[in-house]
Amino acid sequence: MKMLVVLLAVAGCSRDTASVPTPKADPPEVKAAPVDPAADADALVKANEAAGLLGTSLKQRILQEMADGGPVAAIAACSDEAQALTAQVRGQKQVAVGRASTKLRNPNNSGPEWVKEWLAATEGTPAAEATGLSEVVNGPNGRVARVIKPIAVEAPCLTCHGAPEAIPEDVKAVLAERYPKDQATGYAVGDLRGALWAEARVASATP
Ligand code: HEC
C-alpha cells in the first residue's frame, strides 16, 4: 500500500507579513522542535499497526462468535468486548485508537474531530474508492501521526448492519435493547461503514 506522508510546515516558522514591525519588538522565540523524519516515520508505523490490529482482532472475534454461537451471541460478545479490546490495543500500543462512523451504533465511538472531518468528507463514497489517511501534523498538543483506514461492509456484516427487513428478528430485539439509538443499519456490501483510526505521538528528539 502506498503511504502518503504529509509533513506540514512547522508552525513556528510562519511569518505574519501584515504586521507592522515594532522597534523594541523582541518576540518571544517560540521554536517548534525540529522535525525528525525518523521519529515521524516511527509514529506513523505505530499508528498504522494499532489501527490494523484493532481492525483484525475485532473482525476475527465477531466472525468466530458468529460461527460458534450465532449472531445473537456475537452481538453480546461485540458489545461487551469491543470497547475493552479497543482499550487493550490503546494500552498495548500506547496510541489513541478507535472505530468511528457517521451512523453510529454505540455513541461512544464518535471519534475525535479530525476523524469526523474525514467521515464527513467521504460520506457516500463506496468503500473501495475511499482513500484513507496517513499523515504527521503539528496538533494542539504536539506532533502526532494520524492514520485512518476505511472500513468496508462485507456480507457477514449484513446480519447486524444490513437493511432492517433483512436483519433477523432476534438480532433486532437484542440490538434495540442494547442500542436504543442505533443508526448503524441499512448498509449494503461495498458501502463505507466507517473508519478505523489511530493517533500516535511523535517522540520529541530534545529532552
Ligand atoms: C453480530 C452482530 C454484528 C456483526 C455481524 C457485525 N457488527 Fe459491527 N457492530 C455490532 C455491535 C453490537 C456494535 C457496537 C459495538 C460497541 O458497543 O462498541 C458494532 C459496531 C461497529 C462499528 C463501530 C461504530 C459504531 O457504529 O458504533 C463498526 C465500524 C462496525 N461495527 C463495523 C462492522 C463490520 C465492518 C462488520 C462486518 C465485518 C460488522 N460490523 C459486523 C454488531 C455487529
> Per-residue pLDDT tens for 115-137?
999 999 999 999 999 999 999 99
Residue 43 has pLDDT above 70, yes or no: yes
Average pLDDT of the segment spanning 142-147: 96
Chain Cα centroid distance, residue 27: 38
Of the residues 161, 174, 185, which should be mutated to test ligand 1's pocket, given the most ligand atoms within 8 Å of the CB? 161
pLDDT score of 13: 32
> Per-residue pLDDT tens for 170-193?
999 999 999 999 999 999 999 999
The minimum-distance atom of ligand 1 relative to the CA of 63 is 5
Measure 16 CA to ligand 1 centroid, in angstroms: 47
Give whole-number Cα distances, 102 to 40, 106, 166, 169, 189, in Å: 29, 11, 21, 25, 17
